[in-house]
Chains A and B, each alone.
Chain A
Amino acid sequence: MPVFMSPLAFWGILALAAVAAVYLFRRQSRNIRVSSLMFWSHVKVPAEGGRKITRLQIPLVLVVELMILALLVMAAATPRAITGDQLVPVALILDDSFSMSAGATETSRDRALAWLNQNIFSRQFIRLTLFRAGVEPEIVGRPDMKGTEAAHLIGNWRCNSPSADLNSALRTVSENCSADTRVFVITDRTTDGLVPREPGMAEAARTTDGLVPREPGMAEAAKGTQQALAGNINWLAFGQPLANIAITTANRYALGDVDRCFFEFVNFAPAPVRLSAEILSASDAALIERIDLDLGARAHHRVRLTIKDSTAGIRAVIKNDAIEYDNQAWLLPVRPELVKVETASLSAQLRLLVERTINSSGLATLVDSAGQLAFFENAPTDHGSVGRWNFIIHNATQPVTLRASVAVDKNHPLLAGLPKVTAAWAFDRDFTGAGQPLMSVAGIPLLISSGDQLSAHNIYLNLAVSHSNLHTTPVWPVLFWNLLSWRQQSNPGPAQFNYHSGMEVRVNLPAGVGSIKVTTPAGRVSEIPVWRHSARFAATDPGIHTIQAGDTSWKASVNLNSVEESDLTNLQTHVPDFELAEGDTARYFSDVRWWFIVPALLLMVLHQWLLRQGRPGHVY
């Protein structure tokens, strides 16, 4: 429905009445008696089609004239309407962090949804783009949706991100939306997390309440973003301060034969509370430690545990707190599977040396067969199992010994952290091998890596051990630790088992696996495609995730561990009044005078045609 910008032009409607009056006046024909109509007989000639030209045609021209006038009057009233791209562009940045879902009866998200339904989704003249501001911003649905469509998709705003990078979302908005887009940041904090912006941005500050995120380094990024969107950002907060006890840290690491676990409980309330928590075995819920103590205002309590059973999962639970998303933490076993190493093909001298190094790493175990890594001297003696790596030591009989600078590719995982090579390196000067040279001297390769990391992989070491003292330098254990760690990381399964919420979980997979199924703690199952024997996904929901790849499955724990999401004392509500369409009518409502002018022109043509079609003396 067009909006008329010049309603005074509707006085022109009087012209219709005038035309109608003139027509009616003209229609009052004078009665004239004539001797005969025989000489006026041409008016009685039937028109084409055999129908007489009758009075019924008379109003047609009048109707056309009135329609032309009405259309011109409406065109003169400067009609504007919402057409296509002229809808008011609105971008909603939805804070997807957990804090938005905090609340006993009503959450910030609930309040925001109510406001959105009332003020945004019900507007018919907007085109909405939803941006979910989580760890990384993403568009929900598609850009430029109608309000009803956006209201339907708002359910995908679940508030289960460990953090909300609102500035990144603003940058995304500035990159994806036009500069005149009205941006609404739907969050739960205003002043507590924000500081006044720099003086040069005073103008835009009035719109955004003069606030930009506090985080250092973000100011510059926000500057460009908010300058692009200056005047269009509306920062709306729907939070309310809440008292909360949370587990802010949960960590587990291997220490010798035992595992060490660490939990931190924090009271974010401004008053002391009673902390009642338990640390349990995840498998059989056996109580490991009970915590029952008074915790002061904004105080913390740290728990350190030594777990002898390195294969047992640990779970910590706060039992007396209403905000649940940070009340639990899981710590799964952290020890990866040891690398199975075969050394049977080595000479006695080399075997002793290698086995001693391997055993000292703690990353591998020696096996006689079905090894994942096999050491050979000069050349592999068997093909081994699929995916086995071969480490071939080219033990030359007449080597050249050199103590010189060795070129090292330290970007390769095999050589990461490698100290400077100062050893006397005995090598075969005629050695050549296919693959990527990782270490070389005088153009002669000393270490070559070839093949696919995830399948057959051959590593060649050009070293005559008997004439070298490399194994007595720190290079030797580092090289082997890197080798075993690299091989260990290539084993199927997650790279690690305990994650912070929002971290990317990377899963190595054997050949032939096309996808994995990830089951979240809430039971949602998603299928993740595998690319180059690896699958990656972002784990956000706190709890135990199950990763299924064919017949093999793994578990990975995700813990929130976020002070920002647990500290709810600085949540505030701030919803400034504004009128979305105020002042925007002329800007976003396109000029649609042509809607009326074009039909008027067509009707004028029709009018002329009707007049020309008539015979002389016809009353049209």
Chain B
Amino acid sequence: MVHKLLQSSIEAAEIAGQRFYLNISSRFSGLQGGSRFGRNTGNSLEFLDHREYQPGDDVRHIDWNAMARSDRLTVKLFREEISPHLDILIDTSLSMAGETFHKGAATMALAALLRVAAYNAGYTVSCWLLKDRCRRIEPANLPLTQWPGAEFDYSGNVGETITSFPPRLRNNGARILLSDLFWSQEPVSVLRQLSDGAALLTVVQMLAKEDIAPEFAGNIRLIDCETTEAVELIADESLISEYLRNFTRHQEYWKKCCSKYGAVFTHCIGEQLLSDFVPVELLKTEIIMTRS
């Protein structure tokens, strides 16, 4: 059942991903060469436009002919040439499966969608499964349904894995972390590790509906997916409020830390994604864009 949901979600996401492309950030400009043109001006050989010289412009791009004709310093603008790379880091801890597996399915669907969107933008993509080690999926274009070890079965602390055994991420690449962030590792250490050498770090908090709006009431026995630790509670408004306060506090802290490290923090609600495969929050943050 789970496998069927996962497979269908991935397939639907890959189709949906065709509508999007990964937005190429200006952070890639000024870099040495590449296989793709960026949206900004750069060092490629393809002419883009003229404009008046501004201090700091590369003097090699001064159009001397134009200066001779107009006696004005004019520079030629060329399209940037980039070689973008995206690392998708997927938290495969047990908590990502959640009670209904919507979160896990949505995570894999988003990964598939992002990979397609990245391909659409000319990115090379590497996917990492975060367990006790950060395992890279080889080959990179292996269909998600065939990824080895893609089960959400790790019961350890993913944050600790990132800090202790950091993945060898490509420099100047874009990095997207898909995780519910339900671990106790200090965000700063994780973000420091992931943002180091990154062109762009995006943290997507994958959430299930029950994570942001638990609806249970009465006597409940909450069981931690990862630790199987259980606690018995009477769920009432005050309890839910308390939970939401804790959750929001945790989320706000991640946002604050991301801001500190220049990372983009956003979230994605699994059930919502699986309903239309439109990652609204990612579109809002322009991590991905709709192809025209």
Contacts and interface: CB of A to CB of B under 8 A. Distances in A.
Contact of B221 (A31, A39, A42): A31
A34 interface: yes
B110 to A, nearest CB: 16
* A contact patch SS: mixed
Contacts of A39: 243, 246-247, 250
A29 interface: yes
Nearest to B99: A33
B222 interface: yes
A33 B225 contact: yes
A617 interface: yes
Interface string B209-240: 01100101011111111110111111110110
A30 B227 CA distance: 18
Contacts of B220: 29-32
B238 A617 contact: yes
B79 interface: no
A609 interface: no
A39 B231 CA distance: 12
Contacts of B233: 40, 43, 617-619
A411 to B, nearest CB: 97
Given A34-B222, A616-B236, A616-B238, A43 B247 contact: no
Given A34-B224, A36-B182, A27 B219 contact: yes
A32 B227 CA distance: 14
Nearest to B100: A33
Identify which of A31, A35, A38, A619 gathers the most chain B CB atoms within 10 Å of its CB: A35
Contacts of B184: 38
B175 interface: no
Contact of A30 (B211, B219, B225, B229): B219
Given A39-B247, A40-B231, A32 B218 contact: no
B205 to A, nearest CB: 11
Given A35-B98, A617-B233, A619-B234, A40 B250 contact: no
B242 interface: yes
A41 interface: yes
B180 interface: yes
B247 to A, nearest CB: 5
Range of interface residues on chain A? Answer: 20 to 34
Interface residues of B, number: 40
Interface string B170-208: 000000000010111000000000000000000000001
A175 to B, nearest CB: 68
Nearest to B214: A34
A522 interface: no
Nearest to A34: B222
Nearest to B210: A34
B103 interface: yes
Contacts of B222: 32-34, 37, 40
B239 A34 contact: no
A44 interface: yes
B95 interface: yes
A26 interface: yes
Interface in A439-463: none
Contacts of B230: 31
Contact of A35 (B225, B229, B239): B225
Nearest to A39: B246
A29 B95 contact: no
B225 A34 contact: yes
Contacts of B103: 35
Contacts of B183: 36, 38
Given A617-B238, A619-B232, A619-B233, A35 B223 contact: no
A40 B182 contact: no
Contacts of A620: 234
A33 B210 CA distance: 10
Contacts of B219: 26-30, 619
Contacts of B99: 32-34
A30 B243 contact: no
A32 B232 contact: no
Nearest to B250: A39
B242 A617 contact: yes
Given A39-B243, A617-B242, A33 B218 contact: no
Identify which of A26, A31, A40 gathers the most chain B CB atoms within 10 Å of its CB: A40
Nearest to A30: B220
A40 B223 contact: no
Interface string A48-73: 00000001000000000000000000
A27 B232 CA distance: 9
B225 A32 contact: no
Given A37-B229, A39-B246, A29 B221 contact: yes
Contacts of A618: 233-234
A55 B232 contact: yes
Nearest to A35: B95
Contacts of A29: 219-221, 232
A616 B233 CA distance: 9
A307 B95 CA distance: 131
Interface in A539-570: none
Contacts of A44: 231
Contacts of A30: 216, 218-221
Contacts of B224: 33-34, 36-37
Nearest to A616: B238
Given A36-B95, A38-B184, A43-B231, A617 B236 contact: yes
B246 A35 contact: no
Contacts of B182: 35-36, 38
Nearest to B242: A616
A44 B231 CA distance: 9
Contacts of B98: 33-35
Nearest to A620: B234
Interface string B80-102: 00000000000000011011000
Contacts of B232: 29, 55, 619
A198 B235 CA distance: 82
Interface of B: 95-96, 98-99, 103, 180, 182-184, 208, 210-211, 214, 216, 218-227, 229-236, 238-239, 241-243, 246-247, 250
9 contacts: A30-B220, A31-B230, A34-B225, A35-B103, A35-B208, A36-B225, A39-B250, A40-B222, A616-B236
Interface of A: 26-44, 55, 616-620
Given A35-B225, A38-B184, A616-B241, 9 more contacts: A30-B218, A31-B221, A32-B220, A36-B224, A36-B225, A40-B246, A43-B233, A44-B231, A617-B234
